[in-house]
Structure 1
Amino acid sequence: MRLHQGCTDCLISRVEYESRLCTDDPARIRAIVEACRELLARSLADPVPAPVIASRVHRLAYRMLGSTDPYRALKQANNGDALAVCRRVRGSLATFHDLVLASVIGNTLDYGSKAHTVTDDFVGFFHREFAFGLTVDDTDRMEPLTARVVYLADNCGEIVFDALLAEHLRKSGSHVTFAVRGAPILNDATIEDALALGLDRRVDILTTTTDGIAELGLNRDLLPPILADALDRATLVIAKGMANYESLSDEGDLPPVAYLMSVKCGPIGADIGIPVGSRVALLRE
């Protein structure tokens, strides 16, 4: 999925947001925003998926900020919130459908979209959303395909619920390869976050890039060979979040892909044909 013209304001707003996490110097923030705006303008015509361009912009912002992880405190807070919810609800999450829904609700812990805000009461929010259920529900078609799963993770916070789903799959006989970011970008989960949750004791963990490259979504030009091999052998790819959807939705040489996400912006909602705010478990074969 290509970057839409309307996505530029959203992307630049995230640059300003992460800049303010690191500095309160207005002149410095303006300089970073302007440099990122110029890079974005030069990149708009590139025939690449939207996350490739967004990643270039965020990497520039991080270099100018002198920070490798502006969202570190927010990521830790998100994981804490999700763990608190998890302790209260995991006993009632018994089925593949339940755990997919919990993982999709967890995807709302996201600072990547201007149009989306993160709730201050995630416990209450989780219970309300769980009762509402999924807007698009292909879980019955997904579950039989789970012999070998490549699980493309997205944000911190939701990774707590991803871990529950991955563990359920493993206990059901699936082989699960869990892929996280190769370096910090936005509030996406990295190997550090996965290890902190003990995921290495449950599933195989890989990164989506090598050499410390920070990249949103799944850029197949940067895939480590071991992850490329896992994708080739997978019976199902679970792709969490909008960036993974943007990366893979135009690809034609993949196993069946289960897109699990909360739809937080108009272009992705329009691409799927559903309204913003939808909770999605969409299978594309």
Structure 2
Amino acid sequence: MQEKVEQRIQAAYDPLRAAVRVAIAGNIIDYGALHSFDAAATMQECFDREFVLDDYPVLLEALQGKPKVLYLCDNCGEIVFDGLLIKEMNRLGCQVTAAVREAPIINDATVEDAQSCGLDRICSVISNGTRCPGTPLESCSEEFKEHFQAADLIISKGMGNFETLSEVSAPIFFLFTVKCKQVARHLTERQGFEPGFLKGAGEMVLLRQKEV
């Protein structure tokens, strides 16, 4: 499946946007929130689905400056697809470092997972030093904090990272699928949407962090 998805990305009019779609759709691979799904169908459908929040133009502009990017990974199953997006950022001249968990809580990605799927051959890989399902900065390692502060741009994958970083002032782009009513409600209130606009049914989000 990875090879077919990568071929679809390369054939796209905008390969970077296609890779962003794939990375977000890959976030559905989260057994803590969704216990049964068709991964192949999900990846196929992502090319036709609309984002409910889409700050891609802002992301594209930011990446043109060849920034130092810190990519916060989420779950082990999706890092294969994260790698496809990181490849596209590499082609733009970005310097990417991927951060994973120190140890899994459910199916969180670790350094061992990154090495197993070859992510470490695409970019540098570090641990954030925590065993939490997210990125609570106060609990992260000093090495990770240094990377976080030094990054020109941060890609944050998954709901756990959104929940722990949504109030942090940093150049963050959140990429995730909304898979629960609690996050749907929080995001609805944060963005000023009408109540019930988001259902928590796998809506695709690419959101630039607000000034906080």
TM-score, normalised with respect to structure 2 = 0.85
Is the helix fraction higher in 1 or 2? 1
Aligned counterparts, 1:10-159, within 5 A? 85-94=1-10, 95-113=15-33, 116-119=34-37, 121-146=38-63, 147-159=67-79
Asked if 1:284 corresponds to 2:200, the answer is no
Cα pair 1:237 1:258 within 8 Å, conserved? yes
Cα distance in structure 1, aligned partners of 2:35 and 2:208 = 27
Asked if 1:218 corresponds to 2:138, the answer is no
Which amino acid is 1:164 matched to?
Answer: L
Which amino acid is 1:93 matched to?
Answer: I
Partner of 2:199: 275
Rg bigger for which structure? 1
- Deviation (angstroms), 1:93: 0.7
SS in 2 for 1:117: coil
Cα distance in structure 1, aligned partners of 2:46 and 2:89 = 23
Cα distance in structure 1, aligned partners of 2:142 and 2:60 = 27
Asked if 1:182 corresponds to 2:102, the answer is yes
SS in 2 for 1:118: coil
- Deviation (angstroms), 1:136: 1.6
Partner of 1:264: 179
TM-score, normalised with respect to structure 1 = 0.64
CA deviations over 1:38-84 (Å, ceiling 9, x no partner): xxxxxxxxxxxxxxxxxxxxxxxxxxxxxxxxxxxxxxxxxxxxxxx
Q: Which runs of 4+ in 1 moved over 6 A?
A: none
Unaligned runs of 5+ in 1: 1-84
Bigger mean CA offset, 86-95 vs 100-109: 86-95
- Deviation (angstroms), 1:173: 0.4
Cα pair 1:105 1:130 within 8 Å, conserved? no
Pairwise CA RMSD of aligned residues?
1.5
Which amino acid is 2:152 matched to?
Answer: T
Unaligned runs of 5+ in 2: 189-197
CA deviations over 1:145-199 (Å, ceiling 9, x no partner): 2311110000122111101111211121001110001012101111001001112
Cα pair 1:182 1:190 within 8 Å, conserved? yes
CA deviations over 1:119-140 (Å, ceiling 9, x no partner): 1x32123212322232221111
Paired residues, number: 193
Cα distance in structure 2, aligned partners of 1:223 and 1:157 = 23
Cα pair 1:109 1:118 within 8 Å, conserved? no
SS in 2 for 1:132: coil
- Deviation (angstroms), 1:87: 1.6
SS in 1 for 2:61: helix
Which amino acid is 1:241 matched to?
Answer: G
Cα distance in structure 2, aligned partners of 1:138 and 1:190 = 28
